[in-house]
Structure 1
């Protein structure tokens, strides 16, 4: 899928030339405008992957002011274009966090590299932000359990915050890292579920109760064994949910 580019350039010859240049490089030009006002009015409908913005636009808004207005509507990477710029203008442009500045006339290979790098960098950052947001709002404890080394790492919080047990307490186990705290009536089901998952190489889900400080707490756990190139199990990725509000 070709990347969608929006051009905002007040010089007609440069605007048309840049459009043709981008098309020859395999990009899709979804719009090319002379003024910032036009860009602001149309940017949401066009939904570009990147904006090439002349920093010194003629009209009511310059390129920097236009980007500020666009950023109120959508989140999109910006590359500024300029034949020359004062130090003060560059400092002002930095407040809009552009990906890069390109000097006109534009070098074709530099233009292509800059656009592709800017879009790829932006998309990676968004994926990280989404992942962090999911982890922050996930009401469960993510873990990675290294079977051979008998070690467990908690990814989005401490074990104490969810299951009421510190990492120091989760030692001296053979199967499940919570086995010594799971009440006796549930231990057989937990071990059978884990063994079936490991032997069949399938994901698992189970409920169990933990006794801690003379109090019984209810939990739901889901997990997936992960195997190496030679078929050996390396670790289990899983999540534990606190069900105590339901009991």
Structure 2
């Protein structure tokens, strides 16, 4: 499990401290910068899941300038603007940089947290998933963004050993812990779309890179940490025919 990493561009230290307090209290990792040059350099050095940009930096619309540069260079990261300026002209200029949202200061902490969740959903094209229930998730090719209490955590798909399904719920058995999400097996296969995950039973999806031992006659698969998963006749033939375990 990883915390979502947020890049915060804010030049007023007191306001930055307020934001850091809210975000870090909800287990988000935050990198704080005070100018657009530093923000751009941070993007070059590490990956971020989300950006929060103040529009006016040192008396200039550097937040908009920074967003325009990213758009020009086709660097796509979900972001939102925070500002105390209530100017239609500024709003129109900011709108063309394609932010997820535009929040006026002073902002409501819960509004900010909900907006971050919605931005993650929108970016990955899976609306109405995180905000409706604590067992929901947004699934991307490399990460799952899972709602856990009031925060969103990021789980690397490669750490999943297997997925067990019980009706409309999936249990994700991962290296660092287990997670429950509300999703059917067919739906998680569709949105996960990862060739490393193969169905071995009507209720199980296995990460083939985690397989340690395979007992054909006993219909049993042993994964890391001694996880034991059934192997049904229905899926065994196709699994072995494709040589998935031996690739």
Q: Under a length normalisation based on structure 1, what TM-score does the superposition of the two structures give?
A: 0.49
Q: Under a length normalisation based on structure 2, what TM-score does the superposition of the two structures give?
A: 0.49
Larger Rg: 1
Larger helix proportion of the pair: 1
